[in-house]
Amino acid sequence: MENENISLRVQNIIADAENNYIEYVQGNKEIQPILFNQRAILRRINFYINNRYIGRDDDAIFWNISNHRITHFSKLISPDTKDFMPYGIGEINMVQSWLLRKKVIKWFDDNSFYQILNDLGEGIATYGSIVWKRYKDNGKEKIKEVKLDNLYFDQTIDNIKDADGIVELHRLNKKELLDKQEIWENIDEVIRTNDGKKGYDIWEYYGYDYSKDEPEYVHIIGSGYGDKYIKLWEEVANEDDCPYEDFHLGRYRGRWLRVGVVERLFKLQERVNQLVNQNAQATEIASLLLLKSGSPDMIGNVLEQAINGQIIPDETLQQIGITNTGLNQFIQELQLIEQHADKLCLTPEIIQGEVSPSNTTFRGIAVVNAGAVTAFKNYRQNIFEKIADVLMKYIFPSVVKNWNKEDIIEVTEDEIDVEEYDKSLKRLMEREAILGGTVITPDVEAGILNKIESDIKGTGRRITIPKNYFNFEWGFKMIPTDETVDKAAKNDTYFNALQIIASNPAFGNLPLFKQYLEDNGVSWWKLTPKQQEEIMSMAQGGVPQDIKQPDKLLAQAQIAS
């Protein structure tokens, strides 16, 4: 009975999502309420992006006004991998952040995270919301996007983790099902009781099992419902183990699915399709050759009465002129619809890469572009911050988890890294000696240096990561930002650092200055004391030049691509 109850709960969640229309804006006696069903909206969006009508299957023209706007909309909210680099807080965590960034970059490359981020931007622009799912592959934490059509949960919630039960449907072929034999149970029974012609439908459930005396949060994978239910996998989980992470365009307005580009243009899409097909019919009629005859003997359709190729001897035949009288009005209304669609989707000409008027100044283009980009600032910030939270809470700790088991990595990139690495080893060994009660004398220090040189000759410049080396709760932060802004900020950091050191090299040793560089993704040891002295001598011996920073507004005139 227990197994049957959980399968029926899954069935009820699916049925509710399929059939229930919620009233998320109330009406009154005169005005109908606004009803919403997430499945119906998703189905309509999927039809529209594939140039198909919802209620008809004929050769009518579908004049798509959404797909190209999705492309331009998504490029202004799509993040880049460089936007999610961690930085250390305090000098103690700066070397750790440097090591962490190296491992994170490798994880980004191994998992094609750039593609996941690009798909995220396009998915949010299309549907208004998307969902990521965290999963493990050979013990490694990974991320993939979940198809919204396969997810079922309460459509009135704000975030997916607020749902009282989440169901994800999977359709597997026989090979995919057999590949799970070492993990799942009763696979042979699933194959025996289903013909598998269209694949095998498997459901996955995260939520509470209320059939028990003490409700438990469970993760269950099964097939079928009621007395046909077959359990494949079951485990007691924690709510924090829920692997789904959702990302949204805009604020919550009574429904989980936010409004993307396609839904914003539903009504305009209907109207433009109507106009285009009416104009096509008018053009087809206007292309007909109609003749009239003054002869009383000519009755009906002359061309049908005549034999093919026959000459009609009628001197009174005259052509009837037919024109598409509504063509100009059609063009004007079509232009108005396109303009209004741009306003609804925040995609003016400058965002779409269209040529500006000839009298537009370069700085004017920069102002318009900056204004258009600013319109997406809040969208970007919400999305980027959520991605940063997911990475810092789940992915980065998993990435360095093996390091806590004394994994070793190559850390050197150039001779400056080599020098700083050697210094960090010396500081580490000195600290261990002090904690062990040893007084650091010149002889002890020389012994430490000899041991370091011996270890380097034997194993190379590698580092064994001690347990709890990475302090994710207090030691690291991430400031996700736009790719273009990130480049400009780093250039400003380089410029300002050189100016500060040129004015007073002693600033290079200040903890505040080191933290300033770290916050902007620059390793403070990249500017060595020797280089600081050279900068100082150049500033004193040569004629100082008036270095001007570039015009930031003009620098932003480049359209994001």
Q: What is the largest CA-CA distance in the chain?
A: 128
Distances (CA, A) of 267 to 48, 163, 198: 12, 31, 36
The token pair at 209 is 């099992």
For residue 184, name the pLDDT band (cuts at 50, 70, 90).
very high
Residue 187 above 90 pLDDT?
yes
Q: What would the pLDDT profile of 452-475 be if each residue is shown by its tens digit?
A: 777 766 666 566 665 555 666 655
Higher pLDDT, 413 or 26: 26
CA distance 308 to 363: 67
pLDDT at 543: 45
Q: List, for residues 6-50, the tens digit of each pLDDT value.
A: 999 999 999 999 999 998 888 888 888 989 999 999 999 999 999
Eight-class DSSP state of 223: E
Pairing type for strands 87-88 and 129-137 reads unpaired
On the question of pLDDT at 350 being above 50, the answer is no
Q: If you average pLDDT over residues 85-107, what whole number do you get?
A: 74
- How is residue 225 annotated by DSSP? S
Question: What is the average pLDDT across 512-528?
Answer: 67
Please classify residue 251 by burial: count the beta carbons closer than 10 Å to its beta carbon, then call 0-12 exposed, 13-18 middle and 19+ buried.
exposed
pLDDT of the residue at 375:
74
Share of the chain above pLDDT 70, in %: 70
pLDDT of residue 544: 45
Banded model confidence at residue 131, pLDDT cuts 50, 70, 90 = very high
Q: Cα(384)–Cα(392) distance, rounded to whole angstroms?
A: 12
More confident residue, 348 or 233: 233
Cα–Cα distance measured from residue 484 to residue 473, given in angstroms and rounded to the nearest whole number? 29
pLDDT confidence of residue 1:
41
Which of the given ranges, 93-102, 148-157, 500-509, has the highest pLDDT on average?
148-157
Q: Using the 8-state DSSP alphabet, how is residue 162 labeled? A: G
**For residue 404, is pLDDT > 60?**
no
Is the model more confident about 98 or about 421? 98
Q: Which region among 121-135, 441-455, 532-546 has the lowest average model confidence (pLDDT)?
A: 532-546
Give the per-residue pLDDT at 259. Answer: 96
Share of the chain above pLDDT 90, in %: 37
Asked if residues 157 and 166 have their Cβ atoms less than 8 Å apart, the reply is no
Task: Give the DSSP H/E element, type plus range, for residue 514.
Answer: helix 511-519
Q: Between these two residues, 145 and 527, which has the higher pLDDT value?
A: 145
**In whole numbers, what is the pLDDT of the chain averaged over residues?**
79
Q: Where are the alpha helices (DSSP H) in 128-246?
A: 174-178, 187-193
Structure tokens at 44: 């309509």
Mean pLDDT of 95-114: 83
pLDDT tens digit sequence for 222-275: 999 988 999 999 999 999 889 999 999 999 999 999 999 999 999 999 999 999
Query: For residue 83, what pLDDT is reported?
Result: 81
Q: Report the pLDDT value the prediction gives residue 12, as an integer from 0 to 100.
A: 95
pLDDT number for residue 471: 60
> Quick one: average pLDDT of 433-444?
76
What does DSSP say about strands 22-25 and 34-36: parallel, antiparallel, or unpaired?
antiparallel
Domain residue ranges of the chain, discontinuous segments joined by +? 1-17+129-248, 482-555
Instruction: Give the torsion through C-alpha atoms of 509, 512, 517, 521, to 10 deg.
Output: 130
Query: Which pLDDT does position 484 carry in this prediction?
Result: 38
Please report which residue ranges of 317-441 form alpha helices under DSSP H: 327-345, 349-352, 362-374, 377-390, 396-399, 415-435
pLDDT tens-digit profile of 267-318?
A: 999 999 999 999 998 888 887 777 777 777 766 666 566 556 566 777 777 7
Angstrom distance (rounded) from CA 319 to CA 18 = 58
- Residues 187-208, buried b or exposed e (16+ Cβ, 10 A)? beebeeebeeeeebebbbbbbe
Tally of CB atoms within 10 A around 388: 18
Q: Is 521 exposed, middle or buried (0-12, 13-18, 19+ CB in 10 A)?
A: middle
**pLDDT for res 485:** 41
479 phi and psi, to 5 degrees? -115, 90
- Look at residue 353 and tell me whether its pLDDT is greater than 90: no
Instruction: Tell me the CA distances in angstroms from 304 to 265, 296, 298, 380, 435, one per residue in order.
Output: 46, 17, 12, 65, 108
* Residue given tokens 């994170």 in the structure block: 104
The predicted pLDDT at position 399 comes to: 81
Strand pairing report for 151-152 and 318-320? unpaired
Contact 472, 395 (CB under 8 A): no
